[in-house]
Every structure is written in structure tokens, then in C-alpha cells.
Amino acid sequence: MAEKSKFRKDSDLGFLQDADWQDLKVLASILINDFDGKQRRSQNLQSKLQRNKDEYGYTEPDLYEKSWKDIAGELQLFGGDTIVNTTRRKGVLYKEIVKDVAKKINANKESSANNTVEDIEKNILMEVFGEIPNKIDLDLLEAKLKEKGYLGLWAIKGDPIKFIKHNINKERILSGVSGVNGAIGLGKVVKYTKYVKYTKHVKSMAFAGRAFASTATVSPLGIAFGTALLAKDITSPAYRVTIPAVCIIAIMRIKHKPKNEF
């Protein structure tokens, strides 16, 4: 390849070398562009693909099939942004990424050290879709992720109250209420959400959640809002990549697996 791949040998992503090129293209598109069409600035998969095409003259199918390590390596880097210190710029193995995503969206049901990557992926698909889909539908995936707030709080198009109730972590509420003074209403929730959306100095919604929780206790809505942010921290740009990417890979794995193995 034009540039040495950062891909770490990963048995859970090895099947991508035999995946359909169109599915690999969909996965690459999630790593390159956000759902709103804006190109991600932190990664360089787009430039790698362009160099591979220019240097080797690949057709589109060949380009994605032969660049599978670059695509997988890019996901590993995004996983490194969520799991390890971003300054290290090192990718992580897919199993760590899928476990982290399951934890973030509360999909690690019946958690066990013996759970396989496939088991965890199926839990994630059930949490997002309510079923195990056998085909990739980006429009449906985007709608489901936005509905549940997994693409950031301000991406919600449905009822924000429903989102808050969906994401309440009762243990965090009980442990975080004591010693907090003040009350907050729905109007202030909306105002604070807008402030966080446009503020450049707030690096994560977890930080915002802690700041918000310090002013909210009497109102259950205020408590729920603050603790949901504390529990999730899913508005990080990296999670906007790893959550949909894991869903896509999970579906790709189901499509790839021979039917007689089910």
C-alpha cells in the first residue's frame, strides 16, 4: 500500500478480507463521514484510499477489498480514542471496542467473561434495532441511533423526555443526589443543552453532566438529565464512529457466516 497500515493483527476482524466490497465501502463511509455528511477531520482513511487507487489503479471493488486492513486499522484507531489516552494514537483490538460500545449503550446484558464477540454484537444489535437484522440499512441505523441519543444528545429528533428516561442509571442517581442544592426546570434543561451544543470549551458531555448535576436535585428531570450524561459520555466524536461501525460489522459478520453454522 502507499502507506504502511496501522492495522493490528486482529482475529475478530480477519473475516473482513473476504467481505463483500460494497459492505466494506459502507463501513469505510462511516469511518470517513458523519451521518450529516461532514468529513471527519481526525482520521485519514480517505487519503489512504485515494493513494491506493492512484498508485495501483484499482477498480472500485478491488480498492475496498484490498484496502480492508486500512479500513479495519482506522476503526482500531477510533477505538483507541475511546478506550486509551488520545495522545497515544494507538489502535486497540476489536474485542475491546465492541465491549466498550456494549457498556456505553447498556447492551452488556448477562455479561460474562465467556461471552464471544458475536454474543456481544448480538446484544448490541438487539439494543439498537430490537432485533437481529440481516442486512445493512444506514437510514434505519441512523434513525435508531438518533432516537436513543447514541449520536449525541442534540441529535435526538424524538421526545427528549423519553430519551432521558431511557438512559437513567438509577445507581448513579442515588449516589449523586446527596449534597446537591437547587432546582431546575425544563426550560433550563433546554437552555443548557443549547449552551453545550455551541460551546467549544466543553470537551465532553460527561464534564457537562457533572457541571449540570451540581445545580440539579429537586427536579427529577434535572437529576435524570445530569446523571444520564454522567453515565453515558456518548457524545464524544469517537463514539459517533464506533457505535454505528460495530453495528455494521456485526451485520457483516452475520452475512458472512455460513448458514449451516446457525
pLDDT tens string 124-174:
999 999 999 989 999 999 999 988 888 865 444 445 555 555 555 444 444
Q: How confident is the model over 116-124, as a mean pLDDT?
A: 95
Please list, residue by residue across 155-173, b when 16 or more beta carbons sit within 10 angstroms of its beta carbon and e when fewer do: bbeeebeebbeebbbeebb
pLDDT band for position 93 (cuts 50, 70, 90): very high
Percentage of the chain modeled with pLDDT above 90: 44
Percentage of the chain modeled with pLDDT above 70: 57
Does residue 23 or residue 178 have the better pLDDT?
A: 23
- Between 50-64, 98-112, 161-175, the lowest mean confidence (pLDDT) is in 161-175
Q: Give residue 206's pLDDT.
A: 40
Q: How confident is the model over 68-92, as a mean pLDDT?
A: 79
pLDDT band for position 238 (cuts 50, 70, 90): confident
Q: What angle do CA 142, 62, 55 make, to 5 degrees?
A: 110
- Between 21-35, 69-83, 227-241, the lowest mean confidence (pLDDT) is in 227-241
Q: Give residue 218's pLDDT.
A: 43
Render pLDDT for 178-230 as a digit per residue (tens, 0 to 9).
333 333 344 444 444 443 443 333 333 444 444 444 444 445 445 444 444 43
pLDDT band for position 120 (cuts 50, 70, 90): very high
pLDDT band for position 88 (cuts 50, 70, 90): low
Contact of 249 with 130, CB cutoff 8 Å = no
Q: Give residue 40's pLDDT.
A: 79
Chain centroid to CA 75: how far? 11
Contact of 231 with 167, CB cutoff 8 Å = yes
Q: How confident is the model over 32-54, as a mean pLDDT?
A: 86
Q: How confident is the model over 115-123, as a mean pLDDT?
A: 94
Does residue 192 or residue 234 have the better pLDDT?
A: 234
Considering the chain, what is the average pLDDT of its residues? 73
Q: How confident is the model over 244-252, as a mean pLDDT?
A: 97
**Is a pLDDT exceeding 80 seen at residue 252?**
yes
pLDDT band for position 85 (cuts 50, 70, 90): very low
SS (H, E, C) the chain: CCCCCCCCCCCCCHHHHHCCHHHHHHHHHHHHECCCCCECCCCCHHHHHHHHHHHHCCCHHHHHHHCHHHHHHHHHHHHHHHHCCHHHCCCCCHHHHHHHHHHHCCCCCCCCCCCCHHHHHHHHHHHHHCCCCCCCCHHHHHHHHHHCCCCCHHHCCCCHHHHHHHHCCHHHHHHHCCCCCCCCCHHHHHHHHHHHHHCCCCCCHHHHHHHHHCCCCCCHHHHHHHHHHHHHCCCCCCHHHHHHHHHHHHHHHHHHCCHHHC
Highest average pLDDT, of 42-56, 61-75, 173-187, comes from 61-75
